[in-house]
Amino acid sequence: MSTVAFAAIAIFTLAAALAAATLPKLMHAALSFAVMFVGISGFFFLLGAEFVGLVQIFVYIGAVAVLIVFTILLTRDDVENVRSFQWGGAIVAIAVFAGLIWAIAKTKSLPLTPPQIEPVTVQRIGELLMTNYVWPLQCVGVLLTAALIGALILVMEEKS
Amino acid sequence: MNSWITTNVWLIPTAPIVASLLILAFGKAARRAAAAVAILGQIVALTISIFAFVPTLQTHGFRAIQNFTWFTFGEQTLRIGFVLDPLAAAMLLMITLVGLCIFVFSIGYMAEDKNFYRFFAYLSFFSGAMLGVVVANSLLLLFVFWDLVGLASFLLIGFWIERPSAAAAAKKAFITTRIGDMGFFLGILWLYHRSGTLLFYDGGRGCLEPIALSAIGSSVTLIALLIFCGAIGKSGQFPLHVWLPDAMEGPTPVSALIHAATMVAAGVFLVARVYPIFAVGAINGVTTSLTIVVWIGVITGLMAALIAVAQFDIKRILAYSTVSQLGLMMVSLGVGGVAAGIMHLLAHGFFKALLFLGAGSVIHGVHHEQDIRKMRGLRKLMPVTFATYAIGMMALSGVPFFFSGGWTKEEILHATSSWPRSHLPHYSILIGVILTALYMTRQIIYVFFGNRRAASEHAPESPSVMTLPLIVLAVCAVFFSIVLTPAWPWLESYLTGHAAHFEPRLLIQPMILVSLALVGAGVSIGIWIYRRADETDPLQHAQPALFRFLENKMWIDEIYDRTVIAFSKILARLSDWMDRHVWDGLVQDIGRIGQFFGRVTTSADERVINAGVDESTSGAQGLGRLMSRWHSGQIQTYLGAVALGMLALVLLYAWLG
Amino acid sequence: MTPTLQLFLILSAALFCIGLLAALSRRHAIFILIGIEMMLAAANINFIAFWRFAPQPAQPTGVMVAIFAIAIAAAEAAVGLAMVIAVYRHFRSTNVDQLDRLKG
């Protein structure tokens, strides 16, 4: 875990995020969004949670980003009026950021160095999912099924 | 058998109500079946009533109660129940018997009506609700059935809803009785507050039993009077009697049911049922509340009898006679003659149903003409109707010996003569007896004697389905007198819970001679005045002003129009004005304050924007837009608000810890 | 020299605020979804970072929560995008400015 790597990933991620939030063309924004998730996965690798990083890439870049692109193509409402950018949102966002930074800076008891850890293997995560986290896993399964059916019903053409 | 009926009294009101629901559900398809189901329901109720009557005969002062818990809320339990005692049993028999006759009569009378089945459903409902009033052992349950009676009367009086007058009469009946019911309900609440129970009898703890009565304390007079308000409304006592004559707009069998067996009887029955509340702390049988009952009864009785003399509508005359007879019953209850009052109520149920059904038969014969001046000479054409009507008339007038009304009136006269407070009620009843004989003679002469008019030229006798109930009722009206005579006062002792003794020497009493003389006087005056009556009433010739006063029902409706109704109209206008000018003005002023702030914000916005020369103002513009979109329906605005709220929480949390 | 927890927190705060910015200031409904996904990802970074810097417990709770959060975020994205399509069909627009049926 080096500060150089951290700085590089941080700049990369934040730049992609800013692009995703501000690029006028939707398609560009969506692509930047996908790139941003690569950066976030980098953080997860950096922090030693490789499995989460991989899941992030599969789910977001493989599924969510593609879904977003499909939606953009389906709605064909691509170009956004740049003038309509709302500065109120920016002000709120900056205020929230300032508040969070203040809160983080004020908290003195944060640990500075990470302890040595055993790597979290996929096997261990699998065991945990099947033992201690079996109920949440079932719930998430039901939730995903419900979301799938719900999404289908929402986009189904109404029969006239 | 006896124990079975004491725990299943509830079946009696249930039978007609079930019949009513069945008819409403399935009756549209089958007209005949609807009437059959209604009559079957009534026969079932009558049969069970007879079974219920048996145990009350075997023991003097029999009283069976069956209470159960309706629901529990917190510490309180609300209990209701049913009671079977002589008062209830006698009423049950009268209501079911009279009701049955009226139902049968209706088959003929309503034969051509397109809503035949609905009529029978309502009739059954009406009868069932009234039976419920009679067997209720809780003031609350009684009130429930009491209101169902009101609802049924509303539906039936307005049965011919396409007539505006019928709709108005139904509304009037409902609203007028409701005024009384409001007092009644307040009385119920107050009674519950004081005594903690609404059960009449509960093994010594009921609200009519000594423990609870002594717990009520000094407010008992007011409670009694509030309950009496309900009776005033339902039984058509002054000043709430105005709905009763208008209720004639309903079909004639309905009038018969309302005036004889059900609705108006409910008020008198109520007073008799809660009589112990009225009689608390009585000195010599006199309490303040009972005195008020007496005077209301006297006013009602005399006033209605006077008005009846000057009416031309055959049913209105009977209606006012009902009002007057109810006044009489109230007087009787008030002076302590509870048994006499109830006896008169029962006897009145028979002969008034007879008179109304007779009037219905006449109206049916002359093609729905109700003006007695246009009938004349129906004696020969409708012999059965005439004979039964004459019996009813004599029973109502109080001809002694052979007619039930004579004995009960004599009882009432007897009771009033010994009232210690005043002799005025006694004398006013004597006058009432003369007036009753007078207006009934007048009616008989107009309808059945004299030369025929156009309407009565070809009046056919009614079919047997209509005359049979008349005959049954006439027989009842005559033979009922057997149990009323002072020589063998069986009904009185049955109601009061003593044994009856047969003493023939009591048959002839001075009071009976007095009442015979009075009735004779009334009838002779009637015959003398109306022997040559024609289109104009002879009294109208002699006293036009007085006659107009009475014909217009003493202008009481008009007085109400000018006072109570006008007052509420003024109140409504005032509220309207207040709404428009005061409250609305206030709202508008507050609105203007808001507008003012809006303008300030707008102008500030505009000035900032106008003054702004470069991009730096766009921040302010965004803020202004954010503020102006406070309630824009934009989800992003709401999301922003959520974010700011979160920020505030984070800051608070960081600042505290 | 390794980055401290504070740095991770500041980074995730920045990411969160960029997500908020996207959700608040863009007119297109899809941007709102993108913004929300960014905020969720920022939260996930926090979970992982706190797990990594905390004394090691028996179970990697932070990692597990992050996995579930990703699953739920995926479900949310699917339903959200379906709603965008449904809204577009109904209003012929995905501009949230025009979707003001909630207006009082």
CATH number of the domain that residue A71 is part of: 1.20.120.1200
Name which of B632, B640, B643 is nearest C100 (Cβ-Cβ).
B632
The reply to whether A106 falls in a domain is no
Sort out which chain B residues have CB atoms less than 8 A from C103's CB and list them.
631-633
pLDDT of residue A138: 93
Distance in angstroms (rounded) separating the CA atoms of residues B639 and B83 = 66
- B304-345, pLDDT tens digit by residue? 888 887 777 888 888 888 888 888 888 888 887 788 888 888
Question: Domain C5-94 is of which CATH architecture?
Answer: Orthogonal Bundle (1.10)
Domains in chain C: boundaries: 5-94
In this prediction, residue A36 has a pLDDT band, given cuts at 50, 70 and 90, of: very high
Instruction: Check pLDDT > 70 for residue B253.
Output: yes
pLDDT of residue B195: 78
Structure-model confidence comparison of residues A157 and B488, the more confident one: A157
Q: Could you tell me if A101 lies within 8 Å of chain B, comparing CB atoms?
A: no
pLDDT of residue A82: 47
The reply to whether A105 falls in a domain is no
Instruction: Check pLDDT > 90 for residue B28.
Output: no
A89: closest chain B residue by CA: B640
The reply to whether A25 falls in a domain is yes
Instruction: Check pLDDT > 80 for residue B488.
Output: no
CB-based contacts of B381: which residues, under 8 Å, 6+ apart? B365, B456, B459, B460, B461
Helix (H) or strand (E) holding B391: helix B383-397
Sort out which chain C residues have CB atoms less than 8 A from B632's CB and list them.
100, 103
B622: closest chain C residue by CA: C25
Q: What percent of chain B has pLDDT over 70?
A: 87
A-B CB pairs within 8 A amount to 47
Based on DSSP, count helices (H) and strands (E) in chain C, helices before strands. 3, 0
Sort out which chain C residues have CB atoms less than 8 A from A110's CB and list them.
4-6, 9, 53
Instruction: Check pLDDT > 80 for residue B268.
Output: yes
Whether the Cβ atoms of residue B263 and residue B234 lie closer than 8 Å to each other: yes
Sort out which chain C residues have CB atoms less than 8 A from B635's CB and list them.
32, 96, 99, 102
Q: Phi, psi (5° rounding) for residue B197?
A: -150, 150
Name which of B631, B633, B639 is nearest C101 (Cβ-Cβ).
B633
Distance in angstroms (rounded) separating the CA atoms of residues B303 and A64 = 90
The reply to whether A138 falls in a domain is yes
B222-226, B434-438, B546-550, C51-55: which range is least confident on average? B546-550
In this prediction, residue B469 has a pLDDT band, given cuts at 50, 70 and 90, of: confident
Name which of B631, B634, B643 is nearest C20 (Cβ-Cβ).
B643
Task: Compute the Cα dihedral for B181, B182, B186, B189 and give only its sign.
Answer: positive
Name which of C24, C100, C102 is nearest B639 (Cβ-Cβ).
C24
pLDDT of residue B623: 66
Q: Do A86 and B650 touch (CB under 8 A)?
A: no
Structure-model confidence comparison of residues A90 and A139, the more confident one: A139
Mean pLDDT value of segment B206-233: 80
pLDDT of residue B615: 55
Structural domain range at position A160: 119-160
The reply to whether A92 falls in a domain is no
Mean pLDDT value of segment B456-483: 75
Instruction: Check pLDDT > 70 for residue B432.
Output: yes
Average confidence score pLDDT of chain C: 84
Q: Do C103 and B633 touch (CB under 8 A)?
A: yes
Q: Which of B206-210, B431-435, C36-40 has the highest mean pLDDT?
A: C36-40
- A81-131, pLDDT tens digit by residue? 545 566 778 888 888 899 888 888 887 777 777 777 777 888 888 888 898
Domain count, chain A: 2
Instruction: Check pLDDT > 80 for residue B131.
Output: yes
B128-137, B454-463, B572-581, B625-634: which range is least confident on average? B625-634
Sort out which chain C residues have CB atoms less than 8 A from A114's CB and list them.
2, 5, 52-53
Structure-model confidence comparison of residues C14 and C87, the more confident one: C14
Q: Do C101 and B631 touch (CB under 8 A)?
A: no
Tell me, what amino acid is at B268?
V
Tokens of B611: 């003054």
Structure-model confidence comparison of residues B182 and B531, the more confident one: B182
Sort out which chain C residues have CB atoms less than 8 A from B621's CB and list them.
none
Mean pLDDT value of segment B569-598: 82
Average confidence score pLDDT of chain B: 78
Chains with ≥3 CB–CB distances under 8 Å to B: A, C
A96: closest chain B residue by CA: B647
pLDDT of residue B62: 76
Same domain, A131 and A66: no
Structure-model confidence comparison of residues B544 and B430, the more confident one: B430
DSSP assignment letter at B488:
S
- B593-641, pLDDT tens digit by residue? 888 888 888 877 777 656 655 555 566 666 666 665 555 566 777 788 8
Q: Do B639 and C32 touch (CB under 8 A)?
A: yes
Q: Do B644 and A92 touch (CB under 8 A)?
A: yes
Whether the Cβ atoms of residue C72 and residue C36 lie closer than 8 Å to each other: no
Sort out which chain A residues have CB atoms less than 8 A from C75's CB and list them.
143-144, 146-147
Distance in angstroms (rounded) separating the CA atoms of residues B130 and B13 = 8
Same domain, A1 and A70: yes
